[in-house]
Amino acid sequence: MPERLRLMAVHAHPDDESSKGAATMARYADEGADVLVVTMTGGERGDILNPAMERPEIRENIAEVRKAEMDRAREILGIRQEFAGFVDSGLPEGDPLPPLPEGCFALQTVEDGAAPLVESIRRFRPHVILTYDENGGYPHPDHIMTHKVSVHAFDTAGDPDAYPGTGEPWQPLKMYYFVSFPPERFAALAELLAARGLENPFADWMQRIEERGAPRWEITTRVECSKYFDVAADALRAHATQVDPNGFWFAVPTELTAQAWPTEDYHLVRSLVDTEIPEDDLFAGIRDTVRV
């Protein structure tokens, strides 16, 4: 029987999957690939960022609410999803920063934090894994830890001596970092909006990113997925506690975003198959080795 292509995306919290790489996942799922999101924490310490959802009954049951939101987003994207079972670390604020909560995800050892992910890899057997860079995409403790455990799991899931009792070894073939907000993308969008005489809602936000000085990764792989931008937006709206539907994320129509920048972008960091850069397919080099 032909083998189905399998893609795994590893994320820190519910809603991360819908703001980073969602249209890519929807495209590959629609094309017949098996797509799984592993969410490392339940997002229990996340703020309520949509004023309409700031209600006592939601705040008191935020973990269950966020699981239900994740389930709606999963259904919209047409993918599978599972939780790794760790507790959200929260985003510490203040000077000096307060200590992280005891038992949270970011305080796990990398070996312990990677254990459920290794088990998921061995069960799902992905050909490709998507995750965050060393900075976590942005420096949230859970995002940084997600990067660490993803790399460790990629390196150990195929080792028969590692993590006994978590299934048969499986070696993924490629790993990518998300390049979710490249400056070039927002420059192209700003140019298009200016040509239309429209305000750029991302101007201040991009300036803050520039000032933060986050590392920039070369875009090695551009996945054309503009057909699925509306699907991704609907999935993001499903996380109603985290996203204000009247906020700036939805201020630009998806048809304009697609015209300015029709791809989602990635940086290839590990490959055990031959491939040529630049790529336009996360499974480049794999389709030739897997009978699909």
No. of helices (H) and no. of strands (E), the chain: 10, 7
Residue 169: CB atoms within 10 A of its CB come to 16
Q: Per the annotation, does 152 bind a ligand?
A: no
Cross-strand pairs, 264? 223
Task: Report the run of H or E that residue 11 belongs to, with start and end.
Answer: strand 6-11
65 backbone dihedrals φ, ψ, rounded to 5°: -60, -45
For Cα atoms 102, 106, 111, give the angle at the middle one, nearest 5 degrees: 110
R_g of the chain computed on alpha carbons:
19
Is 142 annotated as a binding-site member? Answer: no
DSSP-derived pairing of the beta strands 263-271 and 221-224? antiparallel
| Residue 13 marked in a binding site | yes
- Which residues make up each annotated binding site for Zn(2+)? 13, 16, 143
- Which residues make up each annotated binding site? 13, 16, 143
